[in-house]
């Protein structure tokens, strides 16, 4: 009988944000695949998990996926983790999950930490319908992506680096308006967690005077503009 692939979310900052089941599965599984074994070793040591650890990242996943599906085929269970959050969400995972699904193996993704959910909920922007865009293309395809988003009316979530945050906010303002509302979640669950909410104009001005650092999620709502009434009040 073949084994199973467990996809296991790990904390995005605060080490306490891991479930009891995730710890148990990581202890019981035959092998853990981690994006960066040194990063994950810290977490595993903290929870006294001594399961064998091997590296599986975007530079070797194509070469190694068959090796690991053979191991599952032989009856062993494998747990996949990434540096932070849920594997396959802007992280490696899709390839091995697809290979397991295609081969008819059981795949189970545990519910757990991921950055975009707390960022969306914290934002105060509409959360009943949203789209997750991950990282925007850095150069080629970037403008096209903004063009595609122009007709969008659902809340849009982006992952962004601190070095491109202002550029992204300015491009949102060019494609929508400076009065559209945005929320920037920074360093979620960490000591310096911060949520900056306001119009694009306000949030751009904030980050121009306080250069951003750390990990960032941008939550933008094409439908939420500062009303004329609010605008007049602030003038
Ligand atoms: N797999 C992860 C998840 O489930 O969210 C995402 C991994 S992706 C390589 C890393 C990006 O996620 C960061 O650049 C940032 O945009 C976002 N991110 C991860 N941790 C975060 C945190 N603590 N606060 C804010 N954003 C975070």
pLDDT of 223: 85
Q: What is the whole-number distance in angstroms between the Cα of residue 91 and the centre of ligand 1?
A: 9
pLDDT of 235: 56
**Last residue of some domain: 77, 92, 109?**
109
**Last residue of some domain: 84, 109, 134?**
109
Count of domains observed in the chain: 2
Q: Is the CB of 219 under 6 A from ligand 1?
A: no
- Average of pLDDT values for 139-154? 93
- How many C-beta atoms surround the C-beta of residue 162 within 10 A? 14
Q: Is the CB of 215 under 6 A from ligand 1?
A: yes
Q: Is the CB of 115 under 6 A from ligand 1?
A: yes
User: Is position 234 within any domain?
Assistant: no
Q: Is the CB of 120 under 6 A from ligand 1?
A: no
Q: Which atom of ligand 1 is nearest to the CA of 116?
A: 5
> Quick one: 90 and 163 in the same domain?
no
Which residues are CB-contacts of 38 (< 8 A; sequence separation ≥ 6)? none
Instruction: List, for residues 172-195, the tens digit of each pLDDT value.
Output: 999 999 999 999 999 999 999 999
Q: Which atom of ligand 1 is nearest to the CA of 185?
A: 25
> Quick one: 32 and 123 in the same domain?
no
> Quick one: 135 and 209 in the same domain?
yes
Burial of 189 (0-12, 13-18, 19+ CB in 10 A): middle
> Quick one: 105 and 125 in the same domain?
no
Identify which of 199, 194, 200 has the alpha carbon closest to the alpha carbon of residue 167.
Answer: 200
Whole-model pTM: value is 0.95
pLDDT above 90 covers a percentage of the chain that reads 93
Instruction: List, for residues 35-52, the tens digit of each pLDDT value.
Output: 999 999 999 999 999 999
> Quick one: 32 and 89 in the same domain?
yes
Q: Give the domain extent around 153.
A: 116-229
Q: Is the pLDDT of residue 234 over 80?
A: no
pLDDT above 70 covers a percentage of the chain that reads 95
User: Is position 103 within any domain?
Assistant: yes
> Quick one: 74 and 45 in the same domain?
yes
Q: Is the CB of 91 under 6 A from ligand 1?
A: yes
> Quick one: 102 and 26 in the same domain?
yes
Q: Ligand 1, residues 8, 56, 84: which to mutate, most atoms within 8 A of Cβ?
A: 84
> Quick one: 10 and 37 in the same domain?
yes
Q: Is the CB of 86 under 6 A from ligand 1?
A: yes
CATH code, domain carrying 16: 3.40.1010.10
> Quick one: 137 and 214 in the same domain?
yes
Q: Is the pLDDT of residue 64 over 90?
A: yes
Q: Is the CB of 85 under 6 A from ligand 1?
A: yes
**Last residue of some domain: 61, 79, 109?**
109
Instruction: List, for residues 195-210, the tens digit of each pLDDT value.
Output: 999 999 999 999 999 9
Which residues are CB-contacts of 16 (< 8 A; sequence separation ≥ 6)? none
> Quick one: 120 and 225 in the same domain?
yes
> Quick one: 81 and 155 in the same domain?
no
> Quick one: 103 and 120 in the same domain?
no
Q: Is the pLDDT of residue 225 over 80?
A: no
Q: Is the pLDDT of residue 226 over 70?
A: no
């Amino acid at each position: 009988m073949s084994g199973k692939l467990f996809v296991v979310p790990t904390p995005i900052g605060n080490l306490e944000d891991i479930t009891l089941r995730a710890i148990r599965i990581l202890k019981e599984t035959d092998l853990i695949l981690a994006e960066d074994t040194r990063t994950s070793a810290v977490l595993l040591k903290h929870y006294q998990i001594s399961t064998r650890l091997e590296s599986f990242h975007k530079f070797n996943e194509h070469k190694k996926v068959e090796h690991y599906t053979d191991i599952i085929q032989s009856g062993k269970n494998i747990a996949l983790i990434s540096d932070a959050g849920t594997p396959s969400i802007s992280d490696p995972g899709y390839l091995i999950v697809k290979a397991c699904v295609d081969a008819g193996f059981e795949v189970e993704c545990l519910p757990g930490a991921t950055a975009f959910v707390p960022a969306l909920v914290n934002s105060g922007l509409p959360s009943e319908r949203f789209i997750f865009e991950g990282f925007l293309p850095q150069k080629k395809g970037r403008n096209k992506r903004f063009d595609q988003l122009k007709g969008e009316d659902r809340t849009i979530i982006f992952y962004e680096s601190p070095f491109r945050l202002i550029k992204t906010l300015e491009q949102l303002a060019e494609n929508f308006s400076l009065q559209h509302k945005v929320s920037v979640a920074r360093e979620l669950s960490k000591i310096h967690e911060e949520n900056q909410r306001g119009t694009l104009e306000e949030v751009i001005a904030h980050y121009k005077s306080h250069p951003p650092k750390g990990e960032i999620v941008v939550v933008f709502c094409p439908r939420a503009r500062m009303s004329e009434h609010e605008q007049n009040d602030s003038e």
